[in-house]
Structure 1
Amino acid sequence: MKIQKEIIEFEKERSFKLFSPSLKNCFFWHYHPEIELVYVEASNGIRHVGKDISGFTESDLLLIGSNVPHLNFDYGIQTECKQLVLQMKETFLKDLILPIPEFENIKHLLERSYLGLSFSGETKKMVVEKLHFIRDKNSFESLIGFIEILQILANSTEVKELNSEDTRIKWFLNDKIRMGTIYDYIDENYDKKPNVNEIAKIVSLSTPAFCRYFKKQTNMTFTDFVNNYRINQAKMFLLKDYSVTEVCFQVGFESLSYFNKLFKQHVGETPSAFKKKHLNKIEGII
């Protein structure tokens, strides 16, 4: 569960690489100096970028800055999952963007990518189309297409900052070593009764110290985080066509009315409405 530095290799004639990784059940909590653009397509998943831990439905497009710790986006997804990952050479910003005045907007985009940026709407649609388009082009054409992608992202208003503070590796490397263990414990016990005293003991903290530490790291209490994780897992089971009642108990809730209430608070709609809307979309695609 310790955080890992990923070593990325590039072809000599290219300043970036575009590929489709597949790790699935591997918990790969990692960082790298290269800025990364990630598109993931799945019925439901969890993104973990810096301090932000949140869910996505159907797809997500993220720009992740240099040395920002993040989890692989296909972790724990049991349904079909497709990914496109674009990684820029460490010198990309300094050598190719900063010297060119016409790239001022792109410069600001890449400089604030350390917060973790999630893009939606037409921006996501256009960028994904261009990612697929440049994938099989020669090095020059793909570079031009990549610059166009960055310009689209730089000018977009359909963007959400995932973190409100700097979460690069220098700032919290020692703390995040513990977070991997905590995350693993929750993943193994969310459907039972995760015990705050038990996990505090595992990471060698008193319970009050653990609660303070956890709140500082995630901006959530341990209970709120577990419930958030359960709701994200519930979305996955709903999209596998389980009944709402089955899902409620499968993810560890003991009250159907409480599950419905909490789900609506987190997602903005009831489990039944969520299932009907998104399951129909998935079946339509298939």
Structure 2
Amino acid sequence: MYRHPLLESLHICFTLPIVVLDNDLDMLKAYPFQQVSCLQSDLKPHLDKVWRQKSLFPFTLLRTPKGQMLALYPFQNYLFIFGPFWSASPAQTLRPLADLAYIPQHCLAQEGLCPCQHISDVGHLLHLIHYFFTGHLHLMEQDQESLTQEIFEDIRKELSESLIQQCNLYEDQHFDFEFHLLESVKKGDLKEVRSFLSQSVTPKGVTKDLRSEKNYSILIFEKLSQLAISMGVDPVYAHHTRDYYMSKCEACLNIHDVLALRESAIILFTQKIGRINNHSYTVAKILRYIHQNLSQKLMVEDIAKQFNFSESTIRKLFRKEMNCSLQQYISQKKMEEAKVMLRNQNNVTEVSNSLGYADLAHFSRTFKAHVGLSPKQYQRSPIKDIL
């Protein structure tokens, strides 16, 4: 049997069994080879259900009554099975990453014939597997962002009428507090933010109970992440940081911990924005403009007009701070976005059009010059690297 070194290396590093099934759910490979005997024939209907349903989540986790788990990862025309393994990770922490389902105990061989590794954090394992196959975390961030929006909607729907009325009493105080807070963060001035926080991290007059503080903190985390993105912070970093703080916030057992966590988030985002602001005001605005208009045909001439500079001046200013030309930076950012879209199986023509390229041939030449592969080759490359 052919044994690909990368997939085998993944098995060795994780010390986790891996089974590869084809489109008909017939086994192609197993690491170690005897691992297939651990999966009983009764498991196949459950695998078939996962394969046919096409979950919105990247993974599906199957759990037995005794707590053994299998991580299923459909990728193109293959189904990869990781496990079984044990883990104490709470089910709710896995929801943004995977669909959860339960299977009867007899779907796996007896424990003596089916040894299990202990995984302390399943979330980290899933992120690593996803990165191994695709080279990025973009898809998971999209799933988490979508789920977070659903959570916000649920919170809003579940608010009682009395709580809504109570919030209206302090609407002006909330607005003033948040406005001044976000303006301070926007400047990236840590000294000013610390001074502001020394006064309070909650608007005066608002009733402080644990659930209210958690809900308010979640809203602050969301606003901080959106502000950071608008100021040029990497969206993946901003969303991941937001989700981290939301998760930590839900685990807090008292108001003091919630307030301390909220202050930590405010300071962290301020520091991140402050580093972005180390660029001159003009270059920072140009970077923001580029990030917000990657879907357009970005020409140096048009950018110069946008900021009332001559082309020669804006070229010199940009190169001095960024150590590359303006056009090189634009191409680099467009190619980074193109790689993400191609990994998500977007049509090459659609990717080209969505990034402002009128000529598909020009897009393909530019992509190959940056990546070393044509868009089609890059899109097909993961499965060649794995099997």
Larger proportion of strand: 1
Q: TM-score w.r.t. structure 2 length?
A: 0.31
Larger proportion of helix: 2
Q: TM-score w.r.t. structure 1 length?
A: 0.41
Q: Larger relative CO (CA 8 A, sep 6+): 1 or 2?
A: 1
The structure with more radius of gyration: 2
